[in-house]
Amino acid sequence: MALRKIREMGEDCLRCTCKEVTELTPRILELIDDMVDTMYDADGVGLAAPQVGVRKRIAVIDVGEGPVVLINPEIIYTEGEQTGMEGCLSVPGKAGQVTRPMKVKVKTRNEAFEWVEIEGEELFARALVHEIEHLDGILYVDRVEGELQSTEEE
Ligand code: NI
């Protein structure tokens, strides 16, 4: 298990447009393993490669049903709307209200580098959109409605 350092808002890597992954090398597989470990260690539901300083189109998500690996993901369909609180491991101690689609369909390569379609609803849909936006340098704070709130206990 190897943990990577989670980058925080203000660092350039969080604002970059990440590059497509062209092949699944041992280095990429190691990165994905480390991202999953780092996500669990930080109690997150998702983590994108730029959050550990790597400018590649890779993200991992676990909303409680096991890890899902996304490589070169694209949103191909959205439906409905949900408004709720959202946070990000790169913006520690904060949360804010964001409106996202209620359902999304994503075309992505999986951990075997095969193209698959993934459908998500509710929290999974929210996580898919949040993580995929990270790959284009977009943070949820760009979309927050009202004020960012502190989640730290006083
Ligand atoms: Ni995030």
Give exposure, 93-126, as e/b (b: 16+ Cβ within 10 Å): ebbbbbebbbbbbbebbebeeeeeebebeebbbb
Whole-number CA gyration radius for the chain? 15
Q: Report the distance separating Cα 108 and Cα 69, nearest Å.
A: 9
Residues whose CB falls within 8 Å of the CB of residue 99, separated by 6 or more in sequence, listed in order? 81, 82, 83, 143, 145
Residue 115 Cα, ligand 1 centroid: separation in angstroms? 24
pTM (predicted TM-score)? 0.96
Residues assigned a catalytic role: 131
Higher pLDDT, 153 or 12: 12
Residue 125 Cα, ligand 1 centroid: separation in angstroms? 14
Residue 112 Cα, ligand 1 centroid: separation in angstroms? 24
pLDDT single digits (tens) 75-125: 999 999 999 999 999 999 999 999 999 999 999 999 999 999 999 999 999
Tokens of 128: 């898919």
